[in-house]
Chains A and B, each alone.
Chain A
Amino acid sequence: MSENPAKKPEELSRIDYQPPQKSWMDPSIDFKKKRGSWCYSGATKNVAYLDLPNPREWSPADEDWKLPENWKEIIFEGIRERMDKYRSFRLFMDICVRCGACADKCHYFIGSGDPKNMPVLRAELLRSIYRNDFTAAGKLLGKWAGGRELTVDVLKEWFYYFFQCTECRRCSVFCPYGIDTAEITMHVRELLALVGIGINWILEPVANCYRTGNHLGVPPHAFRDNIEFAADDLKDVIGIQVDAPINKKGAEILVIVPSADYFASPHYYTFLGYLALFHEIGLDYTFSAYASEGGNFGLFHSREMLKRLNAKIYAEAKRLGVKWILGCECGHMWRVVHQYMDTVNGPADFLEEPVSPITGTRFDNARSTKMVHICEFTADLIHNQKIKLDPSRNDHWKVTFHDSCNPARAMGLIEEPRYVLNNVCNYFYEMPENTIKEQTFCCGSGSGLGTDENLEMRLRGGLPRANAVKHVHEKHGVNVLSCICAIDKATLPDLLKYWIPGIEVCGIHELVGNALIMEGEERTTDLRGTPLTAGESSSDEPGEETHV
Chain B
Amino acid sequence: MSAISSKRNIIIVSIAAIAVILLGIFTPLLRLIFGLLIPLTAILVFIGGIIYRVVQWAKSPEPFRITTTCGQQHSLPWIKSNRLDNPHSTWAVIGRMALEVLFFRSLFRNTKAELKSGPNLVYGSTKYLWLGALAFHWCFLVIVLRHLRFFTDPTPSFVLWLESLDGFFQIGVPILYMTDIVILAALGFLLFRRLMDAKLRYISLPADYAPLLLILAIVATGVLMRYTSAKPDIVGVKELMMGMASFHPALPSGIGWMFYLHLLLVSMLIAYFPFSKLMHMAGVFLSPTRNLANTNRVIRHINPWDYPVKVHTYQEWEHEFRDKLKSSGYELDDKS
Contact = CB atoms under 8 A, between A and B. Distances in A.
Contact present between A and B (CB < 8 A): yes
Contact of B275 (A88, A137, A172, A413): A137
A344 interface: yes
Nearest to B4: A142
Contacts of B61: 85-87
Interface stretch (B62-70, B138-146, B213-221, B256-264): B62-70
Interface in A364-389: 364-369, 371, 376, 379-380, 383
Interface in B201-229: 201-208
Nearest to A18: B198
Interface in B271-326: 275-277, 279-280, 283-284, 286-290, 294, 296-303, 305-306, 309-314, 317-318, 320-321, 324-325
Interface stretch (A70-78, A90-98, A393-401, A422-430): A90-98
A173 interface: yes
Contacts of B286: 87, 91
A178 B297 contact: no
Interface string A187-227: 00000000000000000000000111100000111001100
Dominant secondary structure of chain A at its interface with chain B: helix
Interface stretch (A303-311, A476-484, A486-494): A303-311
A412 B76 CA distance: 12
A415 B79 contact: yes
B86 interface: yes
A303 B63 CA distance: 11
B330 A289 contact: yes
Nearest to B282: A95
Given A98-B205, A115-B199, A342 B330 contact: no
B324 A467 contact: no
Taking residues whose C-beta sits less than 8 angstroms from the other chain, chain A's interface range is: 35 or more
A101 B200 CA distance: 10
Contacts of B277: 94-98
Contacts of A301: none
Q: Which of B3, B85, B275, B276 has the most CB of A within 10 A?
A: B3
A537 interface: no
A380 B76 contact: yes
Contacts of B109: 173-174, 439
A505 interface: no
A409 interface: yes
B203 A118 contact: yes
B66 A221 contact: no
B330 A224 contact: yes
Contacts of A530: none
A115 B203 contact: yes
A136 B275 contact: yes
Q: Which of A95, A101, A366, A435 has the most CB of B within 10 A?
A: A95
A434 B123 contact: yes
Taking residues whose C-beta sits less than 8 angstroms from the other chain, chain B's interface range is: 35 or more
Contacts of B60: 83-87, 89-90
Contact of A174 (B74, B76, B110): B110
Nearest to A182: B66
A140 B4 CA distance: 9
Interface in A398-441: 408-416, 419, 432, 434-435, 437-439
B298 A368 contact: yes
A494 B330 CA distance: 37
A274 B120 CA distance: 37
A220 B324 contact: yes
Given A84-B60, A115-B203, A412-B72, A99 B330 contact: no
B147 interface: no
B113 to A, nearest CB: 4
Contact of B133 (A15, A99, A179): A99
Contacts of B27: none
Contacts of A115: 199, 202-203
Contacts of B106: 101, 173-176, 178
A342 B300 contact: yes
B120 A467 contact: yes
A410 B115 contact: no
Nearest to A406: B69
B113 A104 contact: yes
B246 interface: no
A145 B207 contact: yes
Contacts of A159: none
A220 B290 contact: no
A330 to B, nearest CB: 16
A526 interface: no
A338 interface: yes
A344 B289 contact: no
A316 B314 contact: yes
B112 interface: yes
A239 interface: no
A94 B283 contact: yes
Nearest to B112: A104
A409 B297 CA distance: 15
B71 interface: yes
6 contacts: A24-B202, A87-B58, A174-B107, A179-B287, A412-B294, A416-B79
Which 6 A/B pairs are nearest by Cβ-Cβ distance?
A412-B73, A95-B283, A221-B328, A412-B69, A13-B119, A178-B289
